[in-house]
Structure 1
Amino acid sequence: MTTLILLLTTLTFFPQGEISHQEVQSPEFLSGEAGKTVSISCTGTSRVGDDMSWYLLRPGEAPKLLIYNANRRQSGVPQRFSGSYSGLNFQLTISGPEDAGDYYCMGYYSDTVITQ
């Protein structure tokens, strides 16, 4: 039985012109068995709207955009990846995970791109 370890991050938002910040929350580590379904969550703010993207990062590779606008799959990304949201809660679901790596959620504030 194969177990995959997915490393998740906490992303800090720095809105333009503000000193305060809002954290996007998700557990640091998530493991899932191959063939099962796993979900990764993060929490945005009202300023994000649906402008949340999900990326997969592996050592030595460029970040891979999986989902944009909360639930739109990037061209060429397998259907086992899907995004959803309700209010400020965003979720990446991977059916039959076989893609170990670091998964990042990233939000946008108007003209400001928020990265970590």
Structure 2
Amino acid sequence: GEFIVLRVEHRMTDMTQPGAVSSALGGSVTINCRTSQDVYYHTQHPYHHLAWYQQRDGETPKLLIYRASTRASGIPGRFTGSGSNSAFTLTISGVQAEDAAVYYCQSYHYPNSQHVFTQ
């Protein structure tokens, strides 16, 4: 069968992601993102400030998931975000050829008000 590779390159020292994952078409892949400190969460804003982006070759990054698990407008249900605190996951089920891309996770940390955006 055909295989595609979803590249996830580690850039920031305080976030950890795998170098690459691969899947057969129609399969399922999981991409993990771990931060060295907990992602911002507040009772007045009861969600984790973690987002996932997809960047295909030659294109700008596209928002897939925000608030850790909310799909952005137009993103199909086969993209699922989950996790809490410092460990988050992007799962792609029913992988399609157009899913071959670089995936980023972005986190927000308080009180440093620091955005960490890694590939």
Alignment gaps of 5+ in structure 1: 13-21
Map of 1:18 onto structure 2: none
The partner residue of 1:113 within 105, 108, 115 is: 115
Q: Distance in 2 between matches of 1:47 and 1:91?
A: 13
Tell me by how many angstroms 1:11 deviates.
4.3
**8 Å CA contact 1:10, 1:23 repeated in 2:** no
Superposed, which structure 2 residues align to 1:21-40 within 5 Å?
23-40=14-31
Residue deviations 1:29-53 (CA, integer Å, cap 9, x gap): 1111111111000112224441111
Q: Distance in 1 between matches of 2:11 and 2:31?
A: 13
Give the number of equivalent residue pairs. 107
Residue deviations 1:46-86 (CA, integer Å, cap 9, x gap): 24441111000112211110000110000100110010004
Does residue 76 of structure 2 align to residue 85 of structure 1? no
Q: Distance in 2 between matches of 1:11 and 1:28?
A: 10
User: When the two structures are superposed, what TM-score results if normalisation uses the length of structure 1?
Assistant: 0.83
Alignment gaps of 5+ in structure 2: 42-47
User: When the two structures are superposed, what TM-score results if normalisation uses the length of structure 2?
Assistant: 0.81
Superposed, which structure 2 residues align to 1:61-72 within 5 Å?
61-72=59-70
Change (3 A) 1:114 1:87: closer
| Superposition RMSD in Å | 1.6
Map of 1:46 onto structure 2: 38
Instruction: Give the % identical residues.
Output: 37
Matched to 1:83, the amino acid is G
**8 Å CA contact 1:4, 1:100 repeated in 2:** yes
